[in-house]
Chain A
């Protein structure tokens, strides 16, 4: 069941993005930036948390989840550090993804050759 929910949510978010891409001059860069902000916004009232509860990986995999994680980490740290917590906790949940992206991108660039 989890698999079906994940499939549906992830598929829907991608479908939405594709509609925007095909009907506007926005680039993937624009659309992903928009969606990341959307993810942050949806965490404002804990809406995205509900998505994760219901759709599991389906909600965790689109770039919207990146915004949600940044927001989540920031908010969690404010409980301990007040306003400073926003900056201090921001990367708590997203450190893994970004670190991995940088490391593996570097390795790929060292090992492979661009093909065209």
Chain B
């Protein structure tokens, strides 16, 4: 059997997965996450009598804390199983990627384990966030100079 025939056969027999269910779950879990974030944001705006802009970092810190805690307790991955992108797209996903990498490498100690591995999964987001912002920033700055 040649490669092409094999791929055709394999595609025919492929388990279907649950694309519709996954999409719906991602929407629901992600949406609920958004609503919770809104609640936390408004809570801090009330407590500190500040603007949305000032309360935003407080909300981020709170959600990061919760995500890390749930990761440590072994609960986060159970939620993520169902939520899919509903958990990896919000910043909670970023927090989970870092805390799970750090926790996983615990057996190799502080430096060679935790310290060296914390950014294994989250590093790519930071790298490309900065690289893209820098490049686009230069472009926009150029516009302001010459536009």
Contact = CB atoms under 8 A, between A and B. Distances in A.
Q: Do A and B come from one complex?
A: yes
A87 interface: yes
A108 B99 contact: yes
A60 B74 CA distance: 26
- Where chain A touches its partner, the secondary structure class is helix
Q: What interface size band does chain B fall in?
A: 35 or more
Interface string A7-47: 11111111111110111000011011101110111011000
B95 A105 contact: yes
Interface residues on A, range: 35 or more
Contacts of B91: 61-63, 65-66, 97
B132 A18 contact: no
Nearest to A19: B23
Given A62-B90, A74-B134, A97-B91, A105 B22 contact: no
18 contacts: A6-B37, A7-B32, A11-B28, A14-B84, A18-B27, A18-B84, A21-B85, A58-B37, A60-B56, A66-B91, A67-B132, A70-B130, A74-B133, A93-B57, A95-B57, A100-B60, A105-B101, A110-B114
